[in-house]
Every structure is written in structure tokens, then in C-alpha cells.
Amino acid sequence: MLERYIKFLNTKSIDRVLVFANTPSYIYKHLKQESTVINLLKHKRFDELIADFDELLRMQEKEQEHFILIYAILFAIINSDDPRKSGYLSSLPNNTGIRWLKELIKIHFTSYIGTNNFHIQT
């Protein structure tokens, strides 16, 4: 499966976001805007993305490339216009073992809002 995706993705850029993320919102903002993740929708159908995502979640032994792919496909799904998207994301279990997966989906459903509402008087 990796070969079918890696050629489309900037894995270095995605991995960089995952390694340096301090919060789920950092991952959400940066991977939602990652150009190769956005372009993944040009190469993969929604059904295909879901099937591969489910397969990745089921894998017992995951290498770093698998984790990169999990987040890339997740954000391709999030960026998709498919009407089944919300139902699918809502149905994902809580105990996937994928760091911040639940939080990322929650951010998606609560309509990501920036935090620039905090101003301090100098």
C-alpha cells in the first residue's frame, strides 16, 4: 500500500509536522494545508482512502511510514467533499492508538477557530 501513496506525498514535510507538533491544532492546521495531502484527492477516490485508512488502523506492526500515511489519508478524507465524510469520521473508534486522532476529528467537527482573541495591554 505504501508504494501506491508515497509517490504522491511529501513525506518529509508531513513527518516534520508530526515530529515538531506541540498541539493537535498545529497538526490540524499544517496538514490540512499540506499541498501533497490536498492533491491526494486527485489520485484517490474516497472509497479507496477509507479502505486503506481502515487497513492501516488494523495493522499491528506499524513503521514510521505507516504513521505518516495514516495522517496523510486522514487529512485527505477531512479535505474531501464526499457526503459520507462526517459519518465515517464519527464512526472511528476512540482506541486506535493513533496520537491525537480523536482530538483532530473533534477539531474538525467543532469548526477550527483560531485563538487570536487574546490581547494583552502593554
Partner 1 sequence: MAIITQTRRGNNIENEQDITEPTYGNRLEIEDLRSEYIGAIQRSNGYSSLYNCHGMTFASRRTGIYKLIEVNKILEEDNYCEVPLTEVLPGDVVLYYSISGDIEHSGIVIENKNHSGIRIPKILSKWGISFEMIHLVQNCPYYVGNIIKYYRNA
Please tell me the distance from the alpha carbon of residue 90 to that of residue 1, in angstroms, as a whole number. Answer: 24
CB 10 within 8 A of CB 31: no
Half-sphere exposure of 105 (CA within 13 A, CB side): 18
Pick from 1, 6, 8, 25 the residue near partner 1 by CB under 8 A.
Answer: 25
Closest CA to 98 of 111, 89, 87: 89
Please count the other Cβ atoms lying within 10 Å of the Cβ belonging to residue 6.
Answer: 14
Pick from 54, 55, 63, 84 the residue near partner 1 by CB under 8 A.
Answer: 63
Pick from 10, 65, 79, 89 the residue near partner 1 by CB under 8 A.
Answer: 65
Pick from 1, 8, 10, 15 the residue near partner 1 by CB under 8 A.
Answer: 15
Please tell me the distance from the alpha carbon of residue 24 to that of residue 103, in angstroms, as a whole number. Answer: 7
In the complex, minimum distance from the CB of residue 110 to partner 1, in angstroms, rounded to a whole number: 11
Q: Does 96 bind partner 1 (CB under 8 A)?
A: no
Q: Does 109 bind partner 1 (CB under 8 A)?
A: no
Q: Does 118 bind partner 1 (CB under 8 A)?
A: yes
In the complex, minimum distance from the CB of residue 12 to partner 1, in angstroms, rounded to a whole number: 9
Residues that bind partner 1 (CB under 8 A): 15-16, 18-26, 29, 63-65, 67, 99-100, 103, 114-118, 120-122
